[in-house]
Amino acid sequence: MEKLENQLSIEEYSGEGLKRVVESGSWFVGIKNYKPFNDVDNLSALERHFLTDEVFVLLEGRCVLLIDRSPDQSGSDIVSVPMEKGLVYCIKKGVWHNTIVSRDVKIILVENRDTSMENSAMFDLSPEQIQSLTKELKAKYF
C-alpha cells in the first residue's frame, strides 16, 4: 500500500479502559475496553457531563447503559439499556449514566475533547440501588 501518513491514520487499542485515538477540533474518538470500574460486580456510581453529549458504538462484547430517566435527574429512576452492535447511542449532556461491560467489550466513544472531572460529576448509588441494579443486570445480561 502507498504511504499515506499525512492523509490517513489507522488506530487500534487493546489495553484496559479508554484511549483517545483521534482528536480533532473540539471532539475526540476513543476506544473503550473493559476496566474494573465498569464491571457489574463493581457498580457504585453514575456520571454525567455538563458540556457534551457522549456517543457510544458497541463493536464487540456486551455493554448495558444505565440511564437515569427521572425528570429531575435525582437518580430515582435508573433503567438498563442493553446495547446492540453497530447502533449509535447518544447520551445527552447532563444525564446520569454508566456503562456496565463484559471483559471482551470494545466500544467506540465520541465526545467533547475537553471532557474531564472539572466539567462532570459523579453520583454515588445507595447500597439498595447497587444491590437492586446488580441483581437485575446479572439476571438479564451477565
pTM of the predicted protein model: 0.93
Write down the pLDDT at residue 6: 84
Confidence of residue 2 (pLDDT cuts 50, 70, 90): low
Q: State yes or no: pLDDT of 39 exceeds 80.
A: yes
Angle among Cα 57, 77, 129 to the nearest 5 degrees reads: 95
Q: Which element (helix H / strand E) includes 81?
A: strand 78-82
The one-letter amino acid at 119: N
* Nearest alpha-carbon partner for 99 in 29, 49, 46: 46
Q: Which element (helix H / strand E) includes 28?
A: strand 27-33
- The 10s digit of each residue's pLDDT in 90-116 is 999 999 999 999 999 999 999 999 999
Confidence of residue 3 (pLDDT cuts 50, 70, 90): low
* Better-scored residue on pLDDT, 91 or 10: 91
- The 10s digit of each residue's pLDDT in 109-141 is 999 999 999 999 999 999 999 999 999 999 999
Sorted by where each starts, the structural domains of the chain and their CATH numbers stand as 19-140 (2.60.120.10)
Residue tagged 461491560 (cell numbers): 101
Residue tagged 464491571 (cell numbers): 39
Q: State yes or no: pLDDT of 1 exceeds 60.
A: no
Q: Which three cell numbers stand for residue 105?
A: 467489550
